[in-house]
């Protein structure tokens, strides 16, 4: 890359130097030509002042090249009607044509200093003509010198231009090499830092560079590296959660299947003959199959909420009647544990799926009752707040340890595995709650003190966008 930057800089500089040299050459040549024209006008003014009309004009004209020290200069005296009276290069004036149509003559007649470049019909060479209108003698005085174009000045300037060009090129090479180095070196350093991403915990050390664009690259790569590391950590965490999920799911399904198989084998062996005991075994088998059904349904619900594959029917859900239905299903459990339930529910509706909201309330209220102390209390509050449905379920139960608060929404995570086995459940309740809240782009918070109870707060948008 350093070579590429160097050569591209050299090409740009070479083109710039070439153009500047050409423009400078043209401008200097033009200035020199203008100086030549001014000098010729000065000669004509001098000639006008020294011209003696009483003497032979031809002799005076022929002497002028020596006077001005330029043997190549040609002097001509022309009348106002275009007649040539004298010419330093032509002895026989009679063979010279009428000059009234010459551009420089016409410009002089108009009161201006005439200038023209053309091929001389008499000498058959290209000449630069400059004319002057003599008011004293009512004549047009003309001087001409051989002129082959601006190239004559270019030849004079070429050596100095070449020297300047070579010096400028050497300076340009030095500057291009330094510039290429200042660009390539930071990019190499940035590349080295990027390679650190392969390390387990990379620490990036980007310098402050003189070019803002390179600093942007360094900043961007650092941010991207952080994002990639974060994504990798997230993938690793998800991998661990997946492994735990399959392990827990297998265990949760294996336990009831083992119980069912044990009851069936006992009855097949003929050991159990009492009909009452057989009926008890059938009830237990039915209960275990119901537990498996609940577990599989919960797993499917979590999966659908995560992938958002299932078609969800939305409708206006009135929260107070739905809360009454949910509490009715927990009435027996609450009475058995002597749990007092207090309700503070304002009339509020939410545009959502009835089954999902019912499942959310079932899990929050069910946990508040199951993990409460006998004679405890559950407080339920619902209201509309800033165009959101606010749900609060507080209990006076066992509480959740601080170190477990970050994990309670994981699938199959249990704070107290021994207690959970006695209480029952699939271990997916709070995971379902979290996925439902996320499905509606809502929020959920937990506050808990061990031995004093927990408070679950949920915010869901009233209207689905």
- Secondary structure (3-state) at 311: coil
Q: CA Rg, the chain, in Å?
A: 53
Provide the b/e sequence for 237-251 (b: ≥16 CB within 10 Å): eeeeeeeebeebbee
Beta carbons of 371 and 364 less than 8 angstroms apart: no
CATH level 2 (architecture), domain 226-310: Orthogonal Bundle (1.10)
Count the Cβ atoms, other than its own, within 10 Å of residue 184.
16
What CA dihedral angle connects 125, 127, 132 and 134, to 10 degrees? Answer: -20
pLDDT for the residue 280 = 81
Q: Is 120 exposed, middle or buried (0-12, 13-18, 19+ CB in 10 A)?
A: middle
Can you give the pTM of this predicted structure?
A: 0.46
pLDDT for the residue 237 = 73
From residue 145, alpha-carbon distances to 28, 65, 73, 86, 122 in Å are 20, 11, 5, 16, 13
Q: What is the pLDDT of residues 228-237, one digit of tens each?
A: 777 777 777 7
Provide CATH code, domain 313-461: 3.30.565.10
Beta carbons of 118 and 60 less than 8 angstroms apart: no
pLDDT for the residue 14 = 67
Ranges of the chain whose pLDDT falls below 50: 419-420, 422
The beta strands (E) that lie in 189-297 are given as none
pLDDT for the residue 199 = 65
pLDDT for the residue 381 = 95
Provide the b/e sequence for 299-329 (b: ≥16 CB within 10 Å): bebbeebeeeeeeeeeeebebeebbeebbee
> Domain boundaries in the chain?
226-310, 313-461
Instruction: Return all residues near 18 (Cβ < 8 A) that are at least 6 apart.
Output: 165
Cα 140 to Cα 144: distance, rounded to the nearest angstrom:
13
- Secondary structure (3-state) at 389: strand
What does the angle CA 125 – CA 147 – CA 61 come to, to the nearest 5 degrees? Answer: 75
Q: What tokens appear for 257 in the block?
A: 């299947």
Cα 459 to Cα 350: distance, rounded to the nearest angstrom:
11
Count the Cβ atoms, other than its own, within 10 Å of residue 267.
16
pLDDT for the residue 340 = 94
pLDDT for the residue 274 = 79
Cα 238 to Cα 235: distance, rounded to the nearest angstrom:
5
């Amino acid at each position: 890359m350093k070579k590429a930057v160097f050569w591209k800089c050299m090409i740009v500089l070479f083109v710039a130097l070439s153009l500047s040299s050409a423009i400078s050459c043209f401008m200097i040549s033009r200035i020199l030509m203008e100086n030549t024209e001014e000098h010729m006008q000065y000669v004509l003014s001098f000639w006008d002042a020294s011209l003696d009309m009483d003497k032979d004009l031809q002799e005076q004209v022929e002497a002028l090249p020596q006077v001005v020290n330029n043997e190549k200069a040609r002097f001509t005296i022309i009348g106002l009607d275009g007649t040539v009276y004298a010419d330093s290069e032509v002895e026989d004036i009679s063979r010279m044509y009428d000059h009234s149509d010459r551009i420089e003559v016409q410009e002089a007649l108009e009161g201006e200093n005439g200038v023209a470049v053309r091929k001389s019909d008499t000498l058959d060479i290209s000449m630069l003509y400059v004319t002057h209108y003599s008011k004293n003698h009512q004549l047009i005085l003309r001087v001409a010198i051989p002129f082959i174009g601006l190239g004559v000045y270019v030849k004079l300037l070429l050596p100095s231009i070449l020297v300047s060009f070579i010096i400028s090129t050497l300076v340009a090479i030095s500057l291009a090499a330094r510039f290429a180095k200042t660009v390539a070196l930071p990019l190499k350093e940035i590349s080295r830092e990027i390679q650190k991403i392969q390390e387990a915990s990379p620490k990036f050390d980007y310098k402050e560079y003189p070019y803002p664009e390179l600093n942007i690259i360094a900043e961007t790569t650092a941010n991207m590296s952080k994002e990639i590391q974060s994504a990798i950590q997230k993938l690793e965490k998800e991998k661990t959660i997946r492994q735990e999920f399959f392990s827990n799911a297998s265990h949760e399904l294996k336990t009831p299947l083992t119980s069912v198989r044990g009851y069936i084998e006992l009855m097949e062996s003929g050991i159990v003959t009492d009909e009452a005991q057989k009926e008890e075994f059938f009830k237990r088998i039915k209960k275990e199959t119901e537990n498996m059904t609940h577990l599989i349904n919960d797993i499917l619900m979590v999966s659908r909420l995560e992938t958002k594959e299932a078609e969800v029917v939305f409708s206006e859900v009135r929260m107070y009647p739905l809360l009454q239905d949910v509490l009715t299903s927990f009435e027996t459990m609450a009475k058995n544990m002597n749990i007092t339930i207090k309700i503070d529910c304002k009339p509020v509706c939410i545009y959502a799926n009835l089954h999902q909201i019912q499942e959310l309330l079932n899990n929050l209220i069910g946990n508040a009752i199951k993990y409460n102390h006998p004679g405890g209390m559950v407080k339920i509050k619902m209201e509309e707040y800033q165009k959101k449905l606010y749900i609060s379920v507080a209990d006076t139960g066992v509480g959740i340890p601080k170190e477990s608060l970050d994990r309670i929404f994981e699938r199959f995570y249990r704070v107290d595995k021994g207690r959970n086995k006695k209480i029952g459940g699939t271990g997916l309740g709070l995971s379902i709650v979290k996925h439902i809240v996320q499905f509606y782009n809502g929020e959920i918070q937990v506050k808990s003190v061990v031995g004093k109870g927990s408070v679950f707060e949920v915010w869901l948008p009233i209207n689905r966008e």
